[in-house]
Amino acid sequence: MTPMQPSDGVAWITGASSGIGREVARRLLDEGWTVALTARRQAELAELARRYPASRALVVPADVTDAAAMKSAHARIEEIAGRPVALAISNAGAWRRMGAADFDVAAFRHQIEVNVMGTAHMLAAVLPGMLARKRGQIAIVASVAGYVGLPLATAYGASKAALIHMASSLRFESEKTGILVQVINPGFVKTPLTDVNKFPMPFLLSAEDAAARICRGLRGTRFEIAFPWQLVLPLKITRLLPWRLFFAAARAAGSRRAR
C-alpha cells in the first residue's frame, strides 16, 4: 500500500473544470503525471489541457451521475494512454444550502447523485482493474461538513458524511487489496461553489492553497487529508460532545459570528 507515482499510470480526476479539481489537476501535470480531466464542461477542460502536451493532458468529458458514461470514460482513458488509471480522485461536487424552510427533495437528490453516486460510479469503474493489479490509489474529496450536522447543510453535509463513511470502510481493505484509500476533508475554499455563499466562511483558503495541501497529502499514506487545522480541530472536538453540549456550543459560535 504505497502512494502512486507518475510512472505507475494515469491520474484521473473528476470535477476538473474549475476550483479545487482544476488546481489539483494542474499541479499533478506540473509534477509529471499524465492526467485525465473529466467534467461536463469540455471547453474549460480543453482550455486547461492546451497548456500541456496532448499526450499528458487527456480531455475525457463525462457526467459523473451517469454510471455508463463513467465506465466508458475509464475505458477511453486507458485506451488513449495505453496505461492503467493508477490514481483516481473523486472530486466532482454540488452544493446548495438547505434547511427546514427551503427543504427541497429535488435539490437534495441532486447533491446525493453528484457527491455520493458520482463517487460510486468512479469507484465502480476503477476498482476492478486496481484489484486485479493489487495496486492503486483512490482519493475521495469529502468535507469537514461531513463531521457533524451544520446549519443549512442538510443535504450537503449528509452527502459528505456518506463519503467519509465510504472511504473509511474501503480503507479497512487497503492492506489486502494493495489499494491506498484516502479521504480529503477541506474547510472553506474559494471556488465557484462557495462564491454564492452570503455567510461568513472562517479560514477561507484559495483553491491554489487547497490543491497544494491535497497534493502533498497524496504523496503520503495517511488516511485523512484535512485542513485548515483551525477549523478541523474544533469540529473534531465538538463531535465528541454529548448532543446537548454540541448544540449549545454550535449556537454560541453562530451567535458570535452574527455579531
Continuous H helices in 134-218:
154-171, 174-177, 207-218
Yes or no: say if 25 and 12 are a contact pair by the CB < 8 Å rule.
no
Which residues lie below 8 Å from residue 2, measured CB to CB, with a gap of 6+? 180, 221
User: CA-CA distance, 92 to 85, in Å (whole number)?
Assistant: 17
* Closest CA relative to residue 96, chosen from 75, 71, 81, 113: 113
Yes or no: say if 197 and 115 are a contact pair by the CB < 8 Å rule.
no
Catalytic residue among 156, 179, 191, 210: 156
Strands (E) located in 91-243: 136-141, 179-186, 189-190, 205-206, 224-227
CA 232, chain centre distance (Å): 16
Q: Cell 442538510 belongs to which residue?
A: 154
Instruction: Name the DSSP class of 183.
Output: E
Residue 83's SS3 state is coil
Residue 248's SS3 state is helix
Q: Across the strands, what pairs with 88?
A: 12, 138
User: CA-CA distance, 115 to 160, in Å (whole number)?
Assistant: 7
Grid cell, residue 30, equals 506540473
156 as an active site residue: the answer is: yes
Catalytic residues: 156
